[in-house]
């Protein structure tokens, strides 16, 4: 059973650019959630995908968007990057919606300069 994997592990982008982060969910998990963790803070919920549909969104602007594919892997896209987008982006998968623990990947460290 493979765990949650994210790519890339580190990324440096320039303000105004666009970025795509990728996540492969744990085998058998059909729900993927994305979180942003700024320095010194806890992870903050961005959005969740269940069976390729968005299933809940946190307080993030529309320039944060996502996709889930038939194999349940997922992408997080951020347009018009701002300096404050610099953070650790975490992907978590879970076997079903409705309670239960989520399993996290190691994260992608995004730095916007």
Partner 1 sequence: DQQVKQNSPSLSVQEGRISILNCDYTNSMFDYFLWYKKYPAEGPTFLISISSIKDKNEDGRFTVFLNKSAKHLSLHIVPSQPGDSAVYFCAASNYNTDKLIFGTGTRLQVFP
- Residue ranges in contact with partner 1 by CB under 8 A: 4, 6, 31, 33, 35, 40-45, 48, 55-56, 58, 90, 92, 94, 97-107
Q: Which is nearer to partner 1, 16 or 56 (CB)?
A: 56
Question: What's the CA gap between 24 and 62, in Å, rounded?
Answer: 23
Among residues 97, 81, 102, the alpha carbon closest in space to that of 35 is found at 102
Q: Which is nearer to partner 1, 66 or 105 (CB)?
A: 105
Shortest distance in whole angstroms from residue 15 CB to partner 1: 25
Q: Quick count: other Cβ atoms within 10 Å of Cβ 28?
A: 10
Question: What's the CA gap between 96 and 104, in Å, rounded?
Answer: 15
Look at residue 83 and give its three-state secondary structure.
helix
Shortest distance in whole angstroms from residue 55 CB to partner 1: 8
Q: Which is nearer to partner 1, 47 or 112 (CB)?
A: 47
Question: What's the CA gap between 94 and 26, in Å, rounded?
Answer: 8
Shortest distance in whole angstroms from residue 59 CB to partner 1: 10
Q: Which is nearer to partner 1, 80 or 96 (CB)?
A: 96
């Amino acid at each position: 059973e493979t765990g949650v994997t994210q790519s890339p592990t580190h990324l440096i982008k320039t303000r105004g650019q666009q970025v795509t982060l990728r996540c492969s969910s744990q085998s058998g998990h059909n729900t993927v959630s994305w979180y942003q963790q700024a320095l010194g803070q806890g992870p903050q919920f961005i959005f969740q995908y269940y069976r390729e549909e968005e299933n809940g969104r946190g307080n993030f602007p529309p320039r944060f968007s996502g996709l889930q594919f038939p194999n349940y892997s997922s992408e997080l896209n951020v347009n018009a990057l701002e300096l404050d987008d610099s953070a650790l982006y975490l992907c978590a998968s879970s076997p079903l919606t409705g309670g239960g623990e989520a399993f996290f990947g190691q994260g992608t460290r995004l730095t916007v300069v």
